[in-house]
Structure formats: C-alpha cells, structure tokens
Chain A
Amino acid sequence: MTTEVKWNIQGTLLQGCNCAYGCPCNFNALPTTGDCEGTWSGLIDQGSYGGVDLAGLNFTIIGDWPKAIHEGNGECQLLIDELANQQQREGLLTILKGEAGPPWSILKNTFSTYHEPQFVKYETKIDGVNSSVKAGDFFHLEMESIKNPVSGAEAFPGVVLPQGLLYKESTRASTKVYRASGKINYEYSGTDAAFSPFSWGSQ
C-alpha cells in the first residue's frame, strides 16, 4: 500500500491553441477546426511535491488531439525546466503525467502517446496578454491583445470557468507566435491564447 504524496503548485499558465479567439472548448463546444493543437506552459510561483520545492520552475504540456480533447487519442510532449534538479524533475513529471491526481490524471485519459520528456532552457516573460515563453527549440509562444475588427481597439475578454479543470478564470489573447517543434509540430498565429492563474494540488 502506498501513501499519496501531498503536492500543490500555483502560478501563471500561458496557453495557446489552434482555435478561434475564445476557444469554443471552454464552453463545451467543438474545436473551431475539429481538432485541438493546444499547449499549456506554466511558471510556478510557489509549490512543492512532497518535501521538494518547485518554486520558480517552468513546465510545458504540448498536446495534439485528432478531434475534441475529450474524444481522446492525443499525443503529449512534456517539457521541463532544465534548472530542475533530479528530485524536482521527478516530482514535476509525476504531476504532469497524471500520476498524482487531477487535473492531469483526467487529461491523461485523453492521451494515447507520451513522447520522451525533454529538459530545456526557458525564457519566460509574464506580462498579462503580452506574455511569452520560449522552451528550448520545442515550443515558442508570444501573445498579444485581441483587437476589435472595426475600431482596432484592444479587447480583453475574460472566460470564467468555476468548474474548469486547468484554470478558473482567464483573459483571452491572440497568438502572435505559436510554434511546437519536435515530435509534435504545429505553427499558428492569430488564434486563441490565454493568460490565467493556476492552482493545482492533492488537497
């Protein structure tokens, strides 16, 4: 019998996908083009896995599903901050592979393939809807504000999801650069991006 390790991580989640602004999946509608090419990149402000401190570390979940996420058969590429030591790498991978409970134990059901995790150098800028993250040669996201199509004025629509798995509130943005490279490859701009606080844990 195993005792569950207590864990908790909080921070900022930067998200991009191939859907139109707002991403219909937030509302339990189907993805704009029928499939989901979505990535979440997090920067941990504070948190730990067991006694292992995880503050200050970055991670990325690159996902690619042939249909809506909940219809499964997805591929996943995990990226972990190269600054993480061995214990931190193990803790983060346990969380992100869905072996330590929600949210990733739920998303795990939608992945049929996990590619070999990569440990990479991160350059992260947290600045609301102008945030960006570059994770080695595997992932690059730069976001910018959505613009009103008539006036050109910046718009900052928010989506609030009290039952949301990954985040409860988000400010929607536009991808300016959105590129996954490696085992999973895609590239978009002018699609949905989001800036959200996240808080995940075992209690």
Chain B
Amino acid sequence: MTTEVKWSITGDYFQACSCDYGCPCEFEAPPTQGFCEDVSVWRINQGNYGDVSLDGLCFGVAARWPQAIHLGNGTAVPYFDERATPDQRDALLKILTGEAKGEGPFEIIITTLSTVLEPQYVPFEFNEQGRNSSAKMGDTASLAFEPIKNPVTGEEEGIRVDHDTGFFFKNAEVVSAKEMSSTFGELNFSWPNKAGFVAKIKYGNS
C-alpha cells in the first residue's frame, strides 16, 4: 500500500491555442478549427511536492489534438525548468503526468494523450504583466499576449471568463495571443492573434 505524497502549487498560468478569442472549448463547445494546438506555460510561485520545494520553477507543454481535446489521441512535449534539481524534476514529472493525482488538469489531460514526447529541460522566460504577458520555453515554444480590441472603436477590452468547474483555471483574463508558436519536431505550428488566457492557478492534493 502506498501513501499519496502531499503536494500543492500556486502560480501564474498562460495559455494560447489555435481557437478564436475566448476559445469555445472553455464553454464545452468544439474547437474553432476542429482541432486543438496549444502552448501552455506555468510558473510556480509557491509549491511543494512532499518536502521538495518547487518555488519559482516553470514548466509547460506544447500539444496537438486532432479533434476536441476530450476526444483524445493528442501529442504533447513537456518542458521543465533547467534549473530544477533531480528531486524537483522527479516531482514536476509526477505532477505533470498525473501520477501525483490531486486537483488540477493533469490527471485528466494525460488520458487524452496518446504520445508524450521526451521531456525537455530548458531555460524559461516568464513575464507576468497581466494582459501583456509573455513566455518562452527554450528556443522551440513561445507566446506573447496583448489586450483584445473592440473591432469598431479599437478600444482595449478587459474581458474575463469565470469557470467554477474549470480544471485548468477557475477564472482568467481573456487576451489575444499576438504570438504563439511551437517548432518542436512534429509539433510545428504558429497561431498569431488567436485565443489567449492569463490566470492564477492553485492545484494539489493538500
């Protein structure tokens, strides 16, 4: 019999995908183009896995699903902060692959993936600036946000979504991903001026 390791992370989360602004998947509707290509980046502000501190570390994924995410058959590459020690790498891998269980998206998302590529340990850039945030994972994945503008007046808008039952986030700023790209192997895509989200997250089992 095993005892689950207690873990928890709070932090900032950026998400960009191939859908139109707002991403219909947030509302249980099919993706705009029928498939999903996504770059997601997290920065842990405070976190631990057992007694291993995860403060300040980043991780992320680039992924593609041929249809809506819940229909499965996805391919993803995990990215981890190269500054992570072996213990921290092991902890982050357990969290991201859903093995650590607990609240958050990972235990569910892993069931939608048929291919998980070799984890990449890279330097991260993570600039949390609200609706103008940006992030980079090594040389092969990046995103940069700006506010959505009213198509008639050009005025910047402060749109938000609330999703109490959401497992990636409970609420988020809805932004435009003016840049979003992945150039890792078969995960080769770029979707400028599509859906972006900026959120605070809290995941874990404790």
Which residues of A come within 8 Å of B, CB atoms? 20-22, 24, 26-30, 32, 68, 70, 146-150, 153, 155-163, 172, 192
The smallest C-beta distance from B167 to any residue of chain A, in angstroms, reads: 10
Q: Is the interface of A mostly helix, strand, loop or mixed?
A: loop
> A20: which B residues are within 8 A, CB to CB?
24, 27, 29-30
A29 engages B20 (CB within 8 Å): yes
Partner of A148, one of B22, B151, B165: B165
In the complex, whether B39 has a CB less than 8 A from a CB of chain A is: no
> A160: which B residues are within 8 A, CB to CB?
159-162
In the complex, whether B157 has a CB less than 8 A from a CB of chain A is: yes
Known: A157-B161, A158-B162, A162-B158. A28 touches B149 (CB 8 A): yes
A22 to B162, alpha carbons, bound, how many Å?
11
> B152: which A residues are within 8 A, CB to CB?
70
In the complex, whether B164 has a CB less than 8 A from a CB of chain A is: yes
Known: A148-B28, A157-B27, A172-B27. A28 touches B160 (CB 8 A): no
> A68: which B residues are within 8 A, CB to CB?
151
A27 engages B158 (CB within 8 Å): no
> A21: which B residues are within 8 A, CB to CB?
24, 27-29
- The winner among B22, B158, B160, B174 for most chain A CB atoms within 10 A is B22
B160 engages A147 (CB within 8 Å): no
A24 engages B24 (CB within 8 Å): yes
B26 engages A22 (CB within 8 Å): yes
A68 to B151, alpha carbons, bound, how many Å?
11
A160 to B174, alpha carbons, bound, how many Å?
10
B20 engages A30 (CB within 8 Å): yes
Residue of chain A at shortest CB distance from B194: A29
Extra pairs beyond A27-B20, A149-B68 (13, CB < 8 Å): A20-B27, A21-B28, A24-B21, A32-B29, A149-B28, A155-B163, A158-B163, A160-B161, A160-B162, A161-B157, A162-B157, A192-B27, A192-B29
Residue of chain A at shortest CB distance from B108: A150
| 23 A-B pairs with C-beta separation under 8 A | A22-B24, A22-B29, A27-B20, A27-B21, A27-B148, A27-B159, A27-B195, A28-B150, A29-B32, A32-B29, A148-B28, A148-B165, A155-B27, A155-B28, A157-B161, A157-B166, A159-B162, A161-B159, A162-B158, A163-B150, A163-B157, A172-B27, A192-B29
> A153: which B residues are within 8 A, CB to CB?
165
> B161: which A residues are within 8 A, CB to CB?
22, 157-160
Nearest 3 Cβ contacts at the A-B interface: A22-B27, A27-B22, A158-B162
> B195: which A residues are within 8 A, CB to CB?
27
A21 to B150, alpha carbons, bound, how many Å?
21
Partner of B22, one of A22, A149, A150, A163: A22
A149 engages B27 (CB within 8 Å): no
In the complex, whether B70 has a CB less than 8 A from a CB of chain A is: yes
